[in-house]
């Protein structure tokens, strides 16, 4: 497999961008991608997301294995907690995280918080992560529809993040996913997915000829809705190609 990646990360209507997103090719047909959305104020959010991205991309060989994903997120949580002792400015830092690994024709992923991963096959959204948030519990209880999360006044109340007190809460896909050419992934912070509907992600995917073009189409929709001091927004688009294809 070959992977085509495009990353967009901007401060939006804020002065500081507390999101971070990176990727690393490990070997032919193997790569990892990370996205983190920091919180904490006074520079803590920015420090948390950058440290999380660094730790999640650490150099040990990745595996398309749920246990490896869980261990990597746990070690990142421990690094954020340790960093809180460095200064008063960092004592409240924490961050969401999404980690995707593709190795040997299979993919695995996990997350903590409300940054999301979307998986598309044959141009359709077939899987997405479920937020660790107060509003998601209202959806789970049947009190809200999933589409109402975007507009709820409590949508930013998280129930889990790296650096939060107590044991880290992580959700990992229980089985590796066998990849197919044409598969696509989108990792997105809440500042991105709140302003781009899932149906619009599919529409722009169908129109795009590249991962960068897909990001650009979704960005146009985001900017048409954004106003005021809107949040940082970050997205990572990953397209899966057959190993014999020429990737743009």
pTM for the full model? 0.95
The neighbouring-strand residues paired with 35 are: 21, 98
Burial of 221 (0-12, 13-18, 19+ CB in 10 A): middle
pLDDT on residue 61: 86
- Residue 225: what are its φ and ψ, rounded to 5°? -105, -25
pLDDT at residue 195 is higher than 60: yes
Mean pLDDT of 120-126: 98
pLDDT at residue 42 is higher than 70: no
pLDDT on residue 27: 85
Q: 215 or 60, which is more confident?
A: 215
- Contact (CB, 8 A) for 161 and 51: no
pLDDT on residue 40: 77
**pLDDT for 89-111, tens place per residue?**
899 999 999 999 999 999 999 99
3-state SS record for the chain? CEEEEEEEEECCCCCCCCEEEEEEEEECCEEEEEEEEEECCCCHHHHHHHHHHHHHCCCCCCCCCHHHHHHHHHHHHHHHHHHCCCCHHHCCCEECEEEEEEECCEEEEEEECCCEEEEEECCEEEEECCCCEHHHHHHHCCCCCHHHHHHCCCCCCECCCECCCCCCCCEECCCCEECCCCCEEEEECHHHHCCCCHHHHHHHHHHCCCHHHHHHHHHHHHHHHCCCCCCCEEEEEEEEECCCCCCC
Question: What is the C-alpha separation between 114 and 133, in angstroms, rounded?
Answer: 7
pLDDT at residue 247 is higher than 60: no
Mean pLDDT of the chain: 94
**pLDDT for 134-152, tens place per residue?**
999 999 999 999 888 998 9
Q: 38 or 155, which is more confident?
A: 38
pLDDT at residue 74 is higher than 90: yes
Q: For the structural domain made of 2-241, what CATH number should be given?
A: 3.60.40.10
With a pLDDT cut of 90, the percent of the chain lying above it is 83
pLDDT at residue 131 is higher than 70: yes
């Amino acid at each position: 497999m070959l992977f085509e990646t495009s990353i967009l990360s901007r401060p939006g209507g804020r002065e500081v961008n507390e999101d971070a997103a990176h990727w690393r090719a490990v070997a032919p047909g193997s790569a990892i991608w990370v996205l983190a959305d920091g919180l904490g104020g006074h520079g803590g959010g920015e420090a948390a997301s950058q440290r999380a991205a660094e730790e999640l991309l650490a150099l040990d060989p990745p595996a398309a294995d749920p246990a490896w994903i869980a261990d990597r997120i746990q070690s990142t949580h421990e690094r954020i907690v340790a960093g809180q002792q460095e200064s008063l400015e960092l004592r409240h830092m924490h961050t969401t995280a999404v980690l995707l690994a593709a190795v040997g024709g299979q993919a695995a992923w996990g997350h903590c918080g409300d940054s999301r991963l979307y998986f598309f096959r044959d141009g359709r959204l077939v899987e997405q992560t479920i937020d660790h948030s107060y509003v998601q519990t209202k959806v789970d209880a049947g009190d809200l529809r999933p589409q109402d999360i975007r507009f709820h006044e409590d949508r930013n109340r998280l129930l889990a993040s790296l650096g939060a007190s107590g044991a880290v809460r992580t959700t990992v896909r229980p089985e590796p996913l066998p990849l197919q050419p044409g598969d696509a992934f989108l990792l997105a912070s809440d500042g991105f997915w709140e302003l781009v509907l899932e149906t619009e992600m599919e529409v722009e995917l169908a129109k795009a000829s590249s991962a960068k073009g897909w990001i650009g189409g979704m960005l146009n929709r985001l900017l048409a809705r954004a106003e005021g001091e809107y949040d940082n927004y970050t997205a990572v688009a990953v397209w899966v190609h057959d190993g014999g294809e020429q990737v743009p």
